[in-house]
A = this chain, B = another copy of it.
Amino acid sequence: MRKITIKDVATETGLSIATVSYAMSGKKVLPPETVQQVKDAIKKLGYVKNISASSLASNKSSLIGVVIPQTEPGSMMVFQNPFYSEILSSIEYNARIRGYHVIVSGTNADETYFHLAQQRNLDGIIVIGAYSEDFYEGLNESNIPVVLVDSYMDNHAYKEVKLDDIYGGYAATKYLLEHGHKKIAFLSGKLKTGGVSAKRYEGYRSALEEGGVPVNPSYLFHANVDFEKARKMARRIVTETDCTAIFCTADVIAMGAIKELNIMQIKIPQQISIIGFDNLDIANYCTPGLTTIGQDIFEKGKKAVEMLCYTMDEKVKEPEEYVVPIQIVERESVAYI
């Protein structure tokens, strides 16, 4: 069984391969009969276009690269984190319905990635997460359309899809304040300038300020976004402070806190309230259900693809920003005091 090529379609229809190609791509207006003729022949022969060939000829690959952070360099990628799965899922779907395929890569976000990008002649790249300055520069030089997701860079001229983390931190804190809490612990990952934690902290601070509650430095706890670390921190919060509520800047952190408090027989939310950030599936699974800041991850992936497609089609590289709306997902981990 030989492979069917465009030549076969041409022979079948009695047209030239040029005309068949135009009929398929629609890049030239042809009489409807001709187009229909080609369509029929394609169906009859079971012809499928060879993308390698078209990619070579047209210099377009219909391939989108997605960069995702990985735990250890040279090791596997981390999309164990449900957030990555969800957004990837959304990107894949939204790219596919627009005729693009997706190559996901947990490659070290360094030169090796540009190698892949060139090799495969990627039409566009979606970068999820934050990387080194060098990486963004290389990206820029590569001249491939790029959309950043959650990059936490303010100084760059990229298209970007992001969360309003300051507002998220503000909303979470305000929610606790509205429930009567004044002694609110802040439990987060490392506080890098410009990073997520820092922004959510800024929101925390401004909500407290607005509520007339001074920030108490002894209520601030920073570790990693890690379940076990969070457990230790939660224990310290409970033993070293008199906080009535904890704002955890990630659901995974909140999970650790809940686990530890459960073990210590401290009742949530009766004795202490907890609010998270992310609205992962697990927020619903745990007991009590975790009240948390939710974002529409599907929407986030969709927007990223849309913005990328727009850039690829229109060749406009102007920076643009889309801020994904957030909302509070109320469950049972926060009580009135």
Contact = CB atoms under 8 A, between A and B. Distances in A.
Nearest to A90: B76
Interface stretch (A45-53, A201-209, A314-322): A45-53
A119 B50 contact: yes
Contact of A103 (B52, B103, B259): B103
Nearest to A63: B103
Contacts of A119: 48-51
Nearest to A120: B51
User: Helix, strand, loop or mixed for chain A's interface?
Assistant: helix
A80 interface: yes
Interface residues of A, number: 53
A120 to B, nearest CB: 6
A305 to B, nearest CB: 12
Nearest to A298: B76
Contact of A227 (B56, B80, B86, B285): B285
Interface string A16-54: 000000000000000000000000000000001111110
Interface stretch (A104-112, A144-152, A168-176, A188-196): A104-112
A322 to B, nearest CB: 19
Contacts of A287: 258-259, 262-263, 286-287
Contact of A76 (B76, B80, B93, B262): B93
A128 interface: no
A52 B116 CA distance: 12
A281 B252 CA distance: 10
Contacts of A2: none
15 contacts: A48-B119, A49-B119, A52-B55, A75-B93, A76-B89, A78-B89, A79-B85, A79-B89, A80-B82, A84-B85, A88-B104, A103-B103, A227-B285, A286-B286, A286-B287
Given A50-B56, A52-B120, A92-B104, 9 more contacts: A48-B115, A51-B52, A51-B120, A77-B93, A84-B85, A101-B120, A103-B103, A255-B285, A287-B287
